[in-house]
Amino acid sequence: MGIVLNQSFKNTLVLFLGFAIGGINTLFLYTKFLHEDYYGLIVFLLSAANIILPLLVFGMQHTVIKFFSLYQTKKEQDEFLMSTLIVPLLIIIPLAFLGMMTYETIANWLSQKNGIIKPYSYLIFLAAIFMGYFEVFYSWAKIRMQSVFGNFIKEIFARICATVLLIGVYVDVLSNEEFIYAMVIVYFVRMLIMIGYALSIYRPALILKFPKNFKEILSYSFYIILAGSAATILLEIDKFMIPQLKQIAQVAYYSVGIYIASVVAIPSRAMQQIINPITAKELNANNLSEVESLYKKSSINLLVAGGLLFLLINLNVKDLYLIIDKPEFSVGVLIVLLISIAELYKLALGTNGAILVNSKYYKMFFYFSILMAVSVIVLNRWLIEVLGIDGAALATLIVVLVFSTVKIVYIKSKMGMQPFTKKTIVVLIVIAVLFLGFNFWNFSFHPIVNILLKTTIVSVVYGILVLKLNISRDMQEVYTKYIK
């Protein structure tokens, strides 16, 4: 776990910094500097772009990680990498022409409930291209075990730019409308930076020839693109569907709650950047004992780290909304709890997704993802009508709990490995006891003081329990080496 822990630690620092900047943007600058409708609009546009992203790049960001370690010579590697740039163009160019011919129809459909969407509809396609090629070149860096800089650009660059642009709106340098266009330009610049970095690490020769196993690559990519689209639908469809059923300002309220809850996922996002290519490499070498070891270690380590974040978020969420000082946004308290439970369960899965995607059973990832996407769309349609934006969060939680459990059972039945140990039960008990014990313990000071006090107390108690109960060997080593 050496390189995993090293780069995971660096990626975690980057993610925390990114989330801190994003938190300032999401909780304060967006809510106070940008009109609610335009806040909802930018969230909608970027969510829609994420939904079509896997289609435009044909899943090549995952294909790079899956297949690169199979090629032994530089010529083979160069052929493969160049093909990952050409294939998306074969999708993007025809879709661009089709989109131009049917633009009016598509724009009218997207803006049925909220007319503000129509003039900006085409930005969805452009943003998706910029995001897609960023991910492809980021995968080029990952296969060279260089994930930190790309993570920095992905998590921090766009957020810093958003901060600057929001301040520009506040001082009347930019209008709300100009802010929307400027954010899309930011994603274009982010893509260019990633291209430059990837090529600085490794510059392939310009070989316009598809690899010998191109049919296998296309078959894998076809399933992954559909699975990736379905997985993205699970993450983004709520923010896409809310404007179709409710006023677009509701997306802004929902997004704040989602952002707060998503902090729980930071450890997973940090570790996955480096552990995915390692899992793919070990599976390609049929080293199943190492795959199982990574599976169990990642599960307990992520659960321990995510458990603390789950507690700190949910025990302080009411004070956090008081600091935001926008009563209409405080409807997100229940959303935070529901989504953070879903994120915590996903952390407990460890490398489950990486194993499924990079093994010979990758087609099942496609089927699971399709079923998840269909389920979440149906549940969203029903629950948003009944419960409003809380219904969207509940739909996500139900789908995550059901299908994550199914994936654990499937890998156990096919590969004889599962992520849980007795210590998993111990850490879940610790999280539950602390949540119930501190949930009703409220201080009567200023919200910032309340958050600092409760965060300090909960962190100390949680840390002591994790160390004393010897829940994670890796956590013990980190404590002994860097803290003690």
Q: What is the pLDDT of residues 398-415, one digit of tens each?
A: 998 998 899 889 888 888
Sole residue written with tokens 């107390």: 457
pLDDT in tens, 192-242: 999 898 888 877 767 766 667 777 777 777 776 666 666 666 667 777 777
pLDDT at 3: 54
Dist CA 28 CA 34 (whole Å): 10
Dihedral, CA atoms, 78, 82, 83, 88, nearest 10 degrees? 160
pLDDT in tens, 174-185: 999 999 999 999
Report whether pLDDT(270) > 70. Answer: no
pLDDT in tens, 285-343: 777 878 788 888 888 888 898 899 999 999 998 888 888 877 777 777 899 999 999 99
Across the chain, how many H-helices and E-strands are there? 21, 0
Nearest CA to 355 out of 406, 280, 272 is that of: 280
Question: CA separation (Å) from 451 to 235, 313, 317?
Answer: 29, 10, 9
* Cβ-based burial of 127 (10 A; exposed 0-12, middle 13-18, buried ≥19): buried
Question: Which structure tokens are listed for 34?
Answer: 């940008």
pTM exceeds 0.85 = no
pLDDT in tens, 424-475: 899 999 999 999 988 887 778 888 898 899 999 999 999 889 888 888 776 6
Q: Is 136 left (phi over 0), alpha (psi -120 to 50) or beta?
A: alpha
Dist CA 377 CA 237 (whole Å): 7
Q: Which amino acid is at 159?
A: R
Question: Which structure tokens are listed for 455?
Answer: 């965060």
Distance from CA of residue 183 to its chain's centroid?
Answer: 19
Report whether pLDDT(1) > 50. Answer: no
Dist CA 461 CA 425 (whole Å): 18
pLDDT band at 250 (very low <50, low <70, confident <90, very high): confident
Q: In percent, how much of the chain has pLDDT > 90? A: 21
User: Of the given ranges (26-40, 244-258, 387-401), which has the lowest mean pLDDT?
Assistant: 244-258
pLDDT at 373: 80
Report whether pLDDT(16) > 80. Answer: no
Task: Count CB atoms within 10 A of the CB of residue 340.
Answer: 27
Helix/strand/coil percentages in the chain, nearest 5: 85, 0, 15
* Candidate ranges 74-78, 336-340, 348-352; pick with highest mean pLDDT: 336-340
Q: Is 145 left (phi over 0), alpha (psi -120 to 50) or beta?
A: left
Report whether pLDDT(52) > 80. Answer: yes
* Candidate ranges 139-143, 167-171, 282-286, 321-325; pick with highest mean pLDDT: 167-171
Mean pLDDT of the chain: 82
User: Of the given ranges (1-10, 214-223, 269-278), which has the lowest mean pLDDT?
Assistant: 1-10
Task: Determine the 3-state secondary structure of 167 from DSSP.
Answer: helix
Average pLDDT over residues 91-98: 90
Those residues with Cβ within 8 angstroms of residue 218's Cβ, 6 or more apart along the chain or in another chain: 87
